[in-house]
Copies of this chain bind each other. A is one copy, B any other.
Amino acid sequence: MKKIGIVGGTGYTGVELMRLLARHPQVEVVAMTSRGEAGRRVDDLYPSLRGHTDLVFSDPGEADLAACDLVFFATPNGIAMREAPALLEKGVRVIDLAADYRLKDLDVWSRWYGMQHASPEWVEQATYGLPELYRDEIRGARLVANPGCHVTATTLAILPVMGVEWIDHERIVADSKSGASGAGRSAAVHTLMAEAGESVRTYAAAGHRHQPEIRQTLAAVAEREIGLTFVPHLVPMVRGIESTVYLPLAGEPEDLQARYERYYAEEPFVDVMPPNSHPETRSVRGNNLCRMAVHRPMEGPMLVVSSVIDNLVKGAAGQAVQNMNLMLGYPETAGLEMVALSP
């Protein structure tokens, strides 16, 4: 059993990591830190974990994270960049679920996250944790930057046609809808049930941090500039992201359905549905799949892909466990085989 630490365990990605790791056959979570909840039993804060763990939150300063084989940072942006390097230098492998190591261009990063980066040397060494693209690099990585939630649903929906000639790479649109857990477990007015319930709205329509992250990946694959308009929406549910992407055709495409099926044929966590399907977010609730369907409305000049994930699983903790499995040499699906909860 490898030893695992979780820094910042009180948020939703923290409890979701615990949900997945508590039943993982080959690892043991030995430390979960929290400044605010140190000394409190984890299952007191999260009764869903009663019977599955006896862990007590430990103070970040006192937890022996250096004794772990791998540490997850489930912290707000700006923490891992300061605290991960010390662990990395001691040989601990790190997966950051925040955004600190996602963008390679530090100027872009600073503009969107409003801080100077504290460990730029590690940005370069970090591997972007999208296994469908970077599986081999992840296996050997010391530091993995786990992708964002909207990013995962959107990027996977677009990847199979990046670089082809019959796609206009300049006018891609991604309209993404997220449940409220994506906003995290922080006291806030705008995500109160009485504010976010029974209502839909856009947010950050003028520009969202996930846009440059998606573009970075797509541009690397397409080997050209990407024009992407990305608008996120808050919908009244707890879990789930549906991203509908609109890709203008610049010529006659090959068989789109076949292309998508072929592209993801070997992927354990991407499911291309049959023609004429409409994936529901609930069909992946609680599991690590990205499920998608491909449409070309009225045989016209637009490719439409609808892609769904559970934002806390494939969009965060599940993908992080998938990355951990790769890094530690376990089967990629270990601890992630559960059936989605539907209805």
Contact = CB atoms under 8 A, between A and B. Distances in A.
Interface in A303-340: 304, 306, 308, 312, 337-340
B205 A231 contact: no
A233 B238 contact: no
Contact of A227 (B191, B199, B293, B301): B301
A139 interface: no
A298 B203 CA distance: 14
B206 A180 contact: no
B339 A280 contact: no
B206 A181 contact: no
Q: Taking the full assembly, how many copies of this chain does it contain? A: 4
Contacts of A19: 339-342
Contact of A281 (B188, B200, B239, B297): B200
Contact of A192 (B171, B191, B273): B191
Contacts of A229: 246, 297, 300, 302, 304
A282 interface: yes
Residue of A171, A195, A246, A276 contacting most chain B CB atoms (<10 Å): A195
6 contacts: A183-B192, A198-B282, A200-B281, A206-B298, A231-B306, A239-B341
